[in-house]
Amino acid sequence: MLLGVLLALFYAIVIGYCCFRFGIIGDYFALVTLALGQSVTLAIIAFRDVTGGSLGFTLKPMGTSFLYFQFEQKIYFYYASLVFLILTVLVWKWIDHSEMQTALRAIGEDEIAAATLGIRIIRYKMLITMISAVMTAVGGVLYAQYITYLNPTSLSGVGISLEIAFKAILGGMFTPWGPTVGAALIVALEEYVRLSFGGTFVGISQIIYGLALLLLIIFLPNGICGTLQHVFIKARRL
């Protein structure tokens, strides 16, 4: 588990520095990260003797073990995930109230102008990339230990990368609870469809999710939480 988090940090440093050092930004950086995820998927399939290939593999059960983070009762994973969620929100709040937030906003508006003001662009972009990679890796560790069965589709690739981003967009990217709300809505929708229809309408939840996301991007670009926050602020001003 620790090795997985360290490897994610290592790849974030290597890929992030190469991209930022040579000016790969914006949509191009997003494409690089998607390509990296797909490369990981192909590597998992290629090293099938170790990873199980496209069929995946099941973690070796260790019984109840805090060292290997395996528990017979799933309630422990709930509390661990809750603690991690609170930690991520606290990190978000820390970044939002630090000089990093101001620097990143300036970089997002105009990198050249930010550089002329003395903002160390590569430093701040590397920091936020490293933080993102570590937190994503920890989330992946929790997921792996909870599910115990892993395959390339559930671990990496374009699909899972876009799914994570779309959930954040749905809930609202610029509010602390936006990604959590978006993820909760999508998971609840998928589980409802699965329990109600079983295998009759395979993929219908993704269709509904795609239509809802399209409508939200058009009419609610700030996401659900972001829109509600703006409405609440306007109501208080009145």
The total of other beta-carbon atoms located within 10 Å of residue 224's CB is 19
Contact partners, residue 117, CB within 8 Å, separation at least 6 = 106
Q: Tell me, what's the pLDDT at 198?
A: 67
- pLDDT above 70 covers a percentage of the chain that reads 96
For residue 44 the two structure tokens come to 């998992």
pLDDT in tens, 143-157: 888 888 888 887 787
User: In sequence order, what DSSP letters do the residues of 131-157 get, joined into one string?
Assistant: HHHHHHHHHHHHHHHHH-EE-HHHHSS
pLDDT in tens, 43-71: 888 888 888 888 888 888 777 777 788 88
Mean pLDDT of 95-120: 86
Determine the Cα–Cα distance for residues 15 and 84; give it in Å rounded to an integer.
26
Residue 170 pLDDT more than 70?
A: yes
Give the number of residues written for the chain. 238
Determine the Cα–Cα distance for residues 138 and 62; give it in Å rounded to an integer.
20
Q: Tell me, what's the pLDDT at 130?
A: 94
C-alpha count within 13 angstroms, C-beta hemisphere, residue 73: 4
Q: Tell me, what's the pLDDT at 231?
A: 82
- pLDDT above 90 covers a percentage of the chain that reads 16
In DSSP terms, 228 is beta-bridged to none
Residue 207 pLDDT more than 80?
A: no
Mean pLDDT of 10-27: 88
149 phi and psi, to 5 degrees?
A: -115, 130
CB of 227 closer than 8 Å to CB of 220: yes
Determine the Cα–Cα distance for residues 85 and 177; give it in Å rounded to an integer.
10
Mean pLDDT of 199-223: 74
Identify which has the larger pLDDT, 123 or 112.
123
Range with lowest mean pLDDT among 21-25, 89-93, 150-154, 209-213:
209-213
SS3 of residue 173 by DSSP: coil
Domain residue extents for the chain? 1-152, 157-238
Mean pLDDT of 106-110: 85
Q: Output the average pLDDT for the chain.
A: 84
CB of 59 closer than 8 Å to CB of 150: yes
Determine the Cα–Cα distance for residues 40 and 140; give it in Å rounded to an integer.
14
